[in-house]
Structure 1
Amino acid sequence: MGIQIAYQDVSLPIELNWGMEPFNAEPPRSALVSSYVTPVDLFYKRNHGPIPVVDDIERYCINITGLIETPKKLYMRDVSFFPDFILQYVNLVGFSTTNRMLPKFNVTAILQCAGNRRTAMSKTRKVRGVGWDVSAIGNAVWGGAKLADVLELVGIPKLTSSTRSGGKHVEFVSIDKCKEENGGPYKASIPLSQATNPEADVLLAYEMNGEPLNRDHGYPLRVIVPGVIGARSVKWLDSINIIAEECQGFFMQKDYKMFPPSVDWDNIDWSTRRPQMDFPVQSVICSLEDVQSIKPGKITISGYAASGGGRGIERVDVSIDGGKTWIEASRFQKTGIPYILDHESSDKWAWVLFKITVDIPRSTQIVAKAVDSGANVQPENVQDIWNLRGILNTSWHRVEVRVGHSNM
């Protein structure tokens, strides 16, 4: 790109830090239910290498190449809306802004690491990966250009599944360098049919919660692929390639795949499983820690629920007796607006918060499980979905409460 790139690691003292290089951290679980939209400084950080710093925004561009007829360089001024004083500078130095009319869209969507809740899975059998608790997830308002609009600039119509040259996948390549790629860039891909579908809401995002992306979250430009695991929403975008087969990068072919419990590191064959895209229905209690002492009486239990693929949350069930009996929690997104499944007032890519007040007279186990709009239910036991990489732990979420000095 002909720009200066430095690398740095950024940390926040309020977070649970699982590694400084690469920097990975998550907020306390209680912070997640403090607001529907997760503040930027409370949004989990997932990196595979040092955080790149792009200093020269005027020279920064992404290359769109591959199995297309009209390759293109795309500058920030081509996809984003700048304040007037910046536009005056851009015009003064003679840069063209002819493509600047790409419409901006705001999409409220969660990002969730495939390894969210990995620590609980590792208690069954050891797994490899960042030791996430329950907070490797966040809900933000992403602002940017739809990828479907961007691809039209290189001659790919909307709702296209294959280019004339045989391109069927869109590969995103990062500035980020990581050891798993032998020092090469992080990369991932999605099907072209998804990338060119305006309803899929795939973005080239330059804003997060109404502000420019910060360095932790992909400044100056990143991909947001709603409804799939966070590993496909590539940060610090360097190039977009239209390719015939799915990306052959490490994190598509030798990571983030779901294997049965019978597979271990001695008998694994990565080629037998597809790269994970969608994620299953999930819910987590955020108002209580895994083991918490409380006084007898009424408590409010709250948390989040989400499902992949744009599926809504049909209900969240809470049990205060270890799963023997269940009561339905209330669900909501935006304050003051009832959550109605699949309604236009609801954000289909976002999480749903839940809340219920119950009476807890004695020590017990509190459990939460969600059901999505496809009638998919969280599995009861983590043992049944254990896998060697510790991904997609969507088993019932359980917390132990100890009341006074009573015994369980």
Structure 2
Amino acid sequence: MIPVLINFLLTAREISVITCTQNISNFTTEESQTTIDLASNYNTTCLEYTNIFIPNNVTCPPLNETDPYANDPPRDSRLISRSIKPYNGEPPSNLLLEKFYTPNEIFYVRNNLPVPCVHVGNYSLEVGGINLTTVQLTLRQLTTLFSPTTISAVLQCAGNRRSEMNRVKPVSGTKWTGGAIGNANWTGTNLRDILALAGFQRGNYSPDVLNTLHIQLTGLDQDPKTGTYYGASIPVSYILDDNFTPLVAYAMNGKSLTPDHGFPVRAILPGIVGARNVKWLQKITLATQEAQTIYQLEKYKAFSPSITSATVTQEDYNNTDPIMDLPVTSYLASHTDGQIVENGTILVEGYAYSGTGRHIQRVELSQDLGSNWILAEVTERTSKKLRRNWSWVFWKRNVSLSVGRNEIWVKAVDSGYNQQPQEIKDVWNFDGYLNVAYHKVVLNAS
């Protein structure tokens, strides 16, 4: 099927009419001179538009051809810079414990390429693909044509805690500690609604075809050397799961997205590794293959500990699935490894999280190398409904320290009774992804 491009760039007055009608129809395309019903019986709520998510003061300076990173936005001074070009930064882990929803300004920043500057007036999101009608949506339309959805969800970089893995055996990549993770309230349009607007219906595809389809997501961040855009994808099976709530998000903790976090819109795919949550989203494509980018086909794959960067083969890449759902993890965030503290009883605190919507069943601590375990108190969490919990939990526990070296182990168990592995060596991989082994911290008491 050849998609028909619908001119969907309407004025604010036209939008106000559409959002107060009961179905969206009768859009005429100049190419076909026919009237196309965008989505049969597609109902929409009459919403009052506000400007809260569309800043009108975004100005884009001229491109700097000498330094493509010259126009990157300023960052909060509390972020620990792990690389500058591209910029990657994380907060000190103890700051994460101050608020259950991580403040936007200290939410970790993971960039692969220069940050694009997007002027709202020039922006549109293209949606199309197999058996779909290609449509383009402006930011104003994304915030008014659909009922907004808000979910609480963690984003976590695949390389979170990579620095610990690096101590076992050298790995490549940004040497994150435990701050490449954050929890936020994300507001946007359900990706299913956007696909439905373009004509997506399960019945339009045979089961054999449906099971092979992918949702490709393309960002506006561009490689200055090759000219290629960042892109990733997820199997369409995620979209077919009613327990999954994918968003095209335009707000983070009640505020417009910042440039570092994907302004004007980004994908939020709860429970899935951050690399698939494409920022500065410009295109959504239903396709018969996954995204044909290095970020999908080569990077963000975790190989066996027996494979090294020198021995990995193309067959290894072809036979290894890209990282999707995040495994269960936990972290002692109130103190750093090797920290000097007073002996006696102290309070230790941290976070725990599991992907695929599983909630944290319990968090346990050991002070005798795993011979005995004590339960931590889970202090903050969202819903415990199975497969619908996309947030982390906070935990705390008083522990008694004797003078000298005290080693504390932390592990979490999720509602599927998945547990963390004990040793980093068992999950080591040359790119340093998915370090979800017990978090082990040494505190030196004086």
TM-score (norm 2): 0.80
CA apart distance, 1:58? 2.6
Task: Work out whether residues 286 and 303 of structure 1, in 8 Å CA contact, stay in contact via their aligned partners in 2.
Answer: yes
- Correspondence 1:59 to 2:139: no
- Correspondence 1:256 to 2:300: yes
Aligned to 2:357: 310
Q: Which amino acid aligns with 1:308?
A: G
Cα distance change of structure 1 residues 323 and 202 upon mapping to structure 2, 3 Å threshold: same
Q: Which amino acid aligns with 1:149?
A: D
Corresponding residue SS for 2:306:
coil
Question: Mind listing any 5+ residue stretches in structure 2 that lack a counterpart?
Answer: 1-8, 10-58, 64-68
Q: Which amino acid aligns with 1:191?
A: P
Among 219, 229, 240, the residue aligned to 1:174: 219
Structure 2 counterparts to residues 300-379 of structure 1, below 5 A: 300-333=347-380, 341-342=384-385, 348-362=389-403, 363-379=405-421
- Correspondence 1:272 to 2:319: yes
Q: Which amino acid aligns with 1:33?
A: L
Corresponding residue SS for 1:256:
coil
Q: Which amino acid aligns with 1:290?
A: D
Equivalent pairs counted in the alignment come to: 377
Cα distance change of structure 1 residues 197 and 61 upon mapping to structure 2, 3 Å threshold: farther
CA apart distance, 1:341? 3.5
- Correspondence 1:206 to 2:250: yes
Aligned to 2:92: 28
Task: Work out whether residues 280 and 394 of structure 1, in 8 Å CA contact, stay in contact via their aligned partners in 2.
Answer: yes
Q: Which amino acid aligns with 1:31?
A: L
Aligned to 1:400: 442
Q: Distance in 1 between matches of 2:286 and 2:140?
A: 22
Q: Distance in 1 between matches of 2:378 and 2:272?
A: 22
Task: Work out whether residues 357 and 386 of structure 2, in 8 Å CA contact, stay in contact via their aligned partners in 1.
Answer: no
CA apart distance, 1:137? 0.1
CA apart distance, 1:9? 2.0
- Correspondence 1:49 to 2:110: no
CA apart distance, 1:162? 6.5
Structure 2 counterparts to residues 234-253 of structure 1, below 5 A: 234-253=278-297
Q: Distance in 2 between matches of 1:128 and 1:171?
A: 27
Corresponding residue SS for 2:121:
coil
Q: Larger deviation: 379-388 or 62-71? A: 62-71
Q: Distance in 1 between matches of 2:161 and 2:208?
A: 43
CA apart distance, 1:377? 0.8
Question: Mind listing any 5+ residue stretches in structure 1 that lack a counterpart?
Answer: 81-99
Aligned to 1:381: 423
Q: Larger deviation: 61-70 or 36-45? A: 61-70
Task: Work out whether residues 214 and 288 of structure 2, in 8 Å CA contact, stay in contact via their aligned partners in 1.
Answer: yes
Aligned to 2:138: 75
Q: Larger deviation: 194-203 or 204-213? A: 194-203
Task: Work out whether residues 132 and 200 of structure 2, in 8 Å CA contact, stay in contact via their aligned partners in 1.
Answer: no
Q: Which amino acid aligns with 2:260?
A: D
Q: Larger deviation: 278-287 or 69-78? A: 69-78
- Correspondence 1:145 to 2:222: no
- Correspondence 1:13 to 2:70: no
Q: Distance in 2 between matches of 1:28 and 1:261?
A: 29
Corresponding residue SS for 1:199:
coil
Among 125, 129, 135, the residue aligned to 2:173: 129
Residues 122-155 of structure 1: per-residue CA shift (max 9 Å, x gap): 1111111011111100000000000011100011
Q: Which amino acid aligns with 1:143?
A: T
CA apart distance, 1:51? 0.6
TM-score (norm 1): 0.87
Identity of aligned residues (%): 36
Structure 2 counterparts to residues 224-235 of structure 1, below 5 A: 224-235=268-279
Whose radius of gyration is greater, 1 or 2?
Answer: 2
Q: Distance in 2 between matches of 1:316 and 1:159?
A: 44
Task: Work out whether residues 406 and 443 of structure 2, in 8 Å CA contact, stay in contact via their aligned partners in 1.
Answer: yes
Q: Distance in 1 between matches of 2:276 and 2:168?
A: 28
Task: Work out whether residues 9 and 21 of structure 1, in 8 Å CA contact, stay in contact via their aligned partners in 2.
Answer: no
Q: Distance in 2 between matches of 1:365 and 1:159?
A: 57
CA apart distance, 1:74? 1.1
The two structures, once aligned, show a CA RMSD in angstroms of 2.4
Any runs of at least 4 consecutive aligned residues in structure 1 with deviations exceeding 3 A, and if so which?
A: 2-7, 158-167
Task: Work out whether residues 229 and 278 of structure 1, in 8 Å CA contact, stay in contact via their aligned partners in 2.
Answer: yes
Q: Distance in 2 between matches of 1:321 and 1:183?
A: 54
Q: Distance in 2 between matches of 1:162 and 1:214?
A: 41
Q: Distance in 2 between matches of 1:317 and 1:159?
A: 47
Residues 288-311 of structure 1: per-residue CA shift (max 9 Å, x gap): 101111111111111000011111
Task: Work out whether residues 51 and 215 of structure 1, in 8 Å CA contact, stay in contact via their aligned partners in 2.
Answer: yes
Corresponding residue SS for 2:168:
coil
Q: Larger deviation: 3-12 or 141-150? A: 3-12
